[in-house]
Amino acid sequence: MVSDREDQVFYGNKVFNYRRAVSFVELGIASMGEDLDEQIEAKETEFSSFTKRMEELKSEFAQETIRLPWNGTEKPLKNT
Amino acid sequence: MIKYPEVLLGIPEVQTTRMKNQVTQLIKDTEKTVKKEFDNPALWWHLKPRLHESIKLYLQIGDQPPQILDRAVRHVLGHLGVILEEFKFNVSASGTTSSYKEFWFDRPLDVGEAATPSYPNLLKWTREMQQTIQEYNAKYVKATEVYAELYALRKEKKKNQATDLWESI
């Protein structure tokens, strides 16, 4: 004999697991069996390669901006 | 000097010398000024990644640079306006408004906040600046996708942890 409480837990878990599977499908992530930690680590590595390059570009842009105001100034102002 | 020669010719030589010294110092401090302005993490998505940001944040349309960085560059150049205002070159960089003045400031959206000096005239980025931000934009577009996936995976992990905890009790 299954109690109402056990029934609720059973169906509650079923709904929870169903949602979990659906959200994986929505994400386009192939296998639920694949270790989530590994996927996160791989994604973090991929993400950090972007941020690393973006930081380099930020520095390059800063250097180019430093040169910008005085473009066209053929001779620098002398100290007086 | 070229735009308002009568102003320069009308001020005492001692003041002209002081002004020139200030401009020279400003040029020397450019690197520091740029660093201070560009170290703001709100300018660069990769320093403060977030979901649901506009995909066009760093997009250059024609000659129009992305507003977020154009503003920052104008703030750097706007420091010259402070000197021009001090020496009465018909410029207002402090936020005071009156007629016959060029407005060299950026008024913040929040009421009560001080105005930021900002270069108001036509400003064309160099080719190098444009290319750098085009590449930044390309990386940004891809990085936002990767970040969304990473966010979803982390969320999924938390859900699993919550489920495991629930089932273990």
Q: Which residues pair with B117 in a beta bridge?
A: B105
Q: Which residues touch A55 (CB under 8 Å, ≥6 apart)?
A: B46, B47
When pLDDT is cut at 50, 70 and 90, the band that residue A78 belongs to is very low
Per-residue pLDDT tens digits for A5-57: 544 544 444 444 444 444 555 555 545 546 999 999 999 999 999 999 999 99
CB contact under 8 A, B132 and A61: yes
User: In the block, which residue shows the tokens 């891809």?
Assistant: B142
User: In the block, which residue shows the tokens 């944040």?
Assistant: B57
A10 to chain B: nearest residue by CA? B167
How many helices (H) and strands (E) are present in chain A, helices listed first? 2, 0
User: In the block, which residue shows the tokens 């930690």?
Assistant: A37
Note whether B39 contacts A: Cβ–Cβ < 8 A: no
Calpha distance B98→A26 (Å, rounded): 58
- State the pLDDT at residue B9: 82
When pLDDT is cut at 50, 70 and 90, the band that residue B35 belongs to is very high
Note whether B44 contacts A: Cβ–Cβ < 8 A: yes
Burial of B8 (0-12, 13-18, 19+ CB in 10 A): middle
User: In the block, which residue shows the tokens 């639920």?
Assistant: A32
Q: Mark which residues 58-87 of B lie under 8 Å from A by CB.
A: 69, 73, 76-77, 80
